[in-house]
Chains A and B, each alone.
Chain A
Amino acid sequence: MTTTTGTARTRYRTIDLVVVAGIGAAFGVAFLGYGALYSLIGPLTAAFKPAEGLLAGIWFLPAVIAGLVVRKPGAAIGAELIAATLEMMLGGQWGWGTVVSGLLQGGGVELAFALTAYRRSTVPVAVLGGVLAASLEWVWERFAYYPEMSWGFAIIMLGFFLVSGALLCGALGWAATRALAATGALDPFPAGRELAGADRA
């Protein structure tokens, strides 16, 4: 274990900044291609809109991956904000709502990392991040998009959000980060080297 001083742990190297922004932008581009995923569950959502919550966790991936890789305050929220800004700039359907969502989703994931003082990159932390992001996003959607939905349906939607946040953001995000580490692309980052360690040895 290498020792690092407090400032080294929070000071952003240029590569940290570029990687946070790059992860956000890359997902912004990939998201444009993900619309196809919604057609997979199309029949379900046409009859029961809240089922879209099943895919909600995918949108928080930039935050959890950036947080797992860079492990510095602001990485998760920064990446999510870039992805949301990109979506908004390219004419996404929710306009400024997208940026509010980005801040809340990134903020939820950020909160999970902050609770460990940015020291841990484990599955439980990633899952907690996904769950917190899902909760905040649900509050926002309930307020801004679905205020007239009955409470019963809203609670079902919350359930979908939480499951999706835990699995598609938390577990999948952690697995994706590990797959990235195995490619060597995360070698400039301590987190990447730790995650790759098991695979390399």
Chain B
Amino acid sequence: MSTATAAAVLGVEDLGWRPASRREPTLSGVTLHVPAGQRVLLAGASGAGKSTLLRALAGLLDPEAGEITGALSTPDRPGERGLLLQQSVHALVAATVARDAAFGPENAARSRAQIADTVRGALSAAAVDVDGEASPFDLSGGQQQRVALAGSLALAPDALLLDEPLSMLDPSAADAVHAAILEAAEGRTLVVADHRTARWLPHVDRVILLGPGGRILADGPPGTVALPAAELPPPPRPAPGAEVAALEAVAIRRRGGREILHRDLDLALRAGELAALTGPSGSGKTTLLRVLLGLEAPAAGRIRRPERERTAFVPQEPEHSFVARTVREEVTASPWAQDEAAAEELLERAGLTHLAAANPFTLSGGEQRRLAIVAALAQRPRLLVLDEPTVGLDDARLADVVALLDRAREDGCAIIAATHDERLASRADRTLALPARPAPDRPVSREITPVPHPRRTAARACNPLTLCAVGLLAAIGSFGVSTWQIGVLGLLPVLLLAPLAVPGWRSAVLRLAPVLLSAATLAWTTALLSPLAPLSASAWLLGAKEASRITLFVAPGVLALASVDVTALGDALRTRLRLPGRPLAAGVAALVRIGHLRGQWERILAARTLRGLGSARSPRVLASATLALLVDTLRGAEQQALAMDARGFAEADARTVALPSPLGRADVIGALVGIALLLWPWALRLMIG
């Protein structure tokens, strides 16, 4: 060991870590050295401290968030130790795949030419098989994980530290990511934390089994370390009951699109049965669940399901459904689950009685999953619908969930679960397998390009700063409107120029509708509340002046902004105005994940309406949904910050950006338009005012 220690690149010595929010340390007295080039598997149950130990090995424990004792080696340069997280979506920071891979080199303040080279190499080394201009947020989990791998490789790490990188993936995606990781790890140190060990054992030199507090229970070559294995009881074999739910020749569409994903889906589910809905991610499992729950209509076919009160749903993220302050209140939160005695019995069955007074959000992942399930069972559902109920759970926690589901089946509840976990799918009485969508097999581009937009406008030739200036100058100009005649004439050039900024009249009307509605309201308000006689002719003319003025104030900006892309704006603010790089990059990273955030918001609202807690318009539901969205955001932020720091963001004050922010002839024209819009109302005032 002593020679190995001398060559160690990663190591902790008598390490202790106590998060500032806890009294007890989560790691204590851990000593571990990993020599350069070694491949290590960290095994152990959830909660043993695998993730924390990985953070420590990565040199990313935050001294402001807890107390560190002992010694740990720190990286000599940013990105020396690459880190991959369980949920790849948290690692994403950019609007395109190639820009995401460029994040690390940008933090290291490389030149544009260097960044382009590095990104090409990293995307290819991580076997990313989508175009560089694709949005990483639209990709499947497996592809996202490879994008995250590329992001690490772009900084030429000496070591790769992986925190359950496969646990959220379907089997074929897990195979692909596994292969990509092993290939990328060639010649590097590798530390993988995973409670599912079989896939890694043939490829590692060393297995370390962690117990509570990060205590090392066993440490040796594979085969010498006995790994705990949990046996599941045989699934119940219910006597065939009455039909509870059925799909008949159902067809579903991709969300928000017209394309038919699948046709002629049939399924009949009887009381006490478990149906598994399987298929790789992106195959439409979630869409089919939404159709089954009545959240959207099928493209064709018929669906039978129990009444709303007796159809319960558990989302993939249990936290998305939580609304109460305590575990006990959570179980009876739904108006369809008011039986207190039954709730106590369910808590007991789920082993949560000792946590009855705790805040649901503070439970561990496995406990939260069980709580969400018993809260659903408290509705005494005839049909229980679950989205990936076992994803990420280790064998012991899986067994707890399975026991709850088995018991519900014995009571006659029919269950349908969307799942890619074979451990659960193998217990099902029926399986509905959605086939994979064939991936287009073609060469991909790995170049860094601006964010693509489906529809072109003339205004896109301008720098985003120019477009912002046009809107601001026109807004200032609008204060020159002193009569309704000036206002109406003032709007003429805006109408004439609008086609340059939007792809068509339809789009212009769509963007301007809220503006015009507000202007009309302002006209009414002014006619009513000005010092003139309310609703008199002169008051209405004053209102017309105000409406035209506010339209001139707002419309040019709204139209110009239709052609502004957030990423390009961030680049322009960095290169042209030299704004501080880190806050800017954090802001852009937040704004490019809006699509993801809106998806979370919809899931959170749906989980509430399906529990009968009220419509999406009720203030109570909006308040609790906002809290859940904030919790989701804050938890994601912790992971995102970790992933960003592993890519050298903490010290990236001098960061560069991967693309230029050109100013050209179009910007001269844009500037002239802006000045003209600024002066026009004042000129009119001189002429006719």
Main SS of the interface on chain B?
Answer: helix
Asked whether B528 is an interface residue with its Cβ less than 8 Å from the other chain, the reply is yes
Provide the A164-191 mask, 1 if CB < 8 A to any CB of B, else 0. Answer: 0000000000001001101111111010
| A95 within 8 A of partner (CB) | yes
Any chain B CB within 8 A of the CB of A163?
A: no
Q: Are A17 and B583 in contact (CB under 8 A)?
A: yes
- CB nearest to B515 among chain A residues: A93
Interface residues of A in 187-201 (CB under 8 A from B): 187-188, 190, 192-193, 196, 199-200
- Are B557 and A96 in contact, with the CB atoms below 8 A? yes
Instruction: Using CB atoms, name the residue of chain A closest to B618.
Output: A36
The residues of B that contact A91 with a CB separation of less than 8 Å are 511, 514, 558, 561-562
Residues of B with C-beta under 8 A to A44: none
B51 to chain A, nearest CB (A): 14
B522 is an interface residue with CB less than 8 A from chain A: yes
B608-646 CB mask vs A (1 if < 8 Å, else 0) is 000000001101001001110111111111101100110
Interface of A is mostly: helix
Count of A-B residue pairs with CB < 8 Å: 208
A186 and B362 CA atoms in complex are apart in Å by: 11
Instruction: Report A-chain residues with C-beta under 8 Å of the C-beta of B627.
Output: 176, 179-180, 183
- A196–B586 touching, CB < 8 Å: no
With beta carbons under 8 angstroms apart, the residue of A96, A179, A185 that contacts B634 is A185
Contacts of B361 in A (CB 8 A): 182-185
Give chain A residues whose Cβ lies under 8 Å from the Cβ of B325. Answer: 182
**Interface residue tally for chain B (C-beta within 8 Å):** 77
Within 8 A of A (CB), among B581-612: 582-583, 586-587, 589-591, 593-594, 597-598, 601, 605
Question: Hey, which chain A residues are within 8 Å of B514, CB to CB?
Answer: 91-93
Please tell me if the beta carbons of A95 and B554 are within 8 angstroms of each other in the complex: yes
Nearest CB in chain B: distance from A35 CB, A:
9
B40 contacts partner chain A, Cβ-Cβ < 8 Å: no
When distances are taken between beta carbons in the complex, the residues of chain B under 8 Å from A27 are 626
Q: Mark A1-44, 1 if CB is under 8 A from B, else 0.
A: 00010001000111101111111111111101110110110000
**Contacts A39-B617, A85-B591, A144-B553 given: A29-B62 contact, CB under 8 Å?**
no
Whole-angstrom distance between the alpha carbons of A172 and B522 in the complex? 29
Q: Given A86-B591, A149-B530, does the pair A183, B554 have CB atoms closer than 8 Å?
A: no
Closest-by-CB residue of A relative to B478 is: A144
Cα separation A49 to B635 with both chains bound (whole Å): 39
Listed by A's residue number, 30 A-B pairs whose Cβ atoms lie within 8 Å are A14-B649, A18-B590, A18-B640, A19-B637, A19-B641, A21-B591, A22-B634, A25-B590, A25-B591, A25-B594, A26-B626, A26-B633, A36-B616, A49-B525, A85-B587, A85-B591, A86-B594, A95-B515, A95-B553, A97-B554, A146-B522, A147-B546, A148-B526, A148-B546, A149-B525, A150-B531, A182-B325, A183-B359, A183-B631, A199-B359
Instruction: Mark A residues whose CB is within 8 Å of B.
Output: 4, 8, 12-15, 17-30, 32-34, 36-37, 39-40, 49-50, 65, 74, 78, 82, 85-86, 88-97, 144-151, 153, 176, 179-180, 182-188, 190, 192-193, 196, 199-200
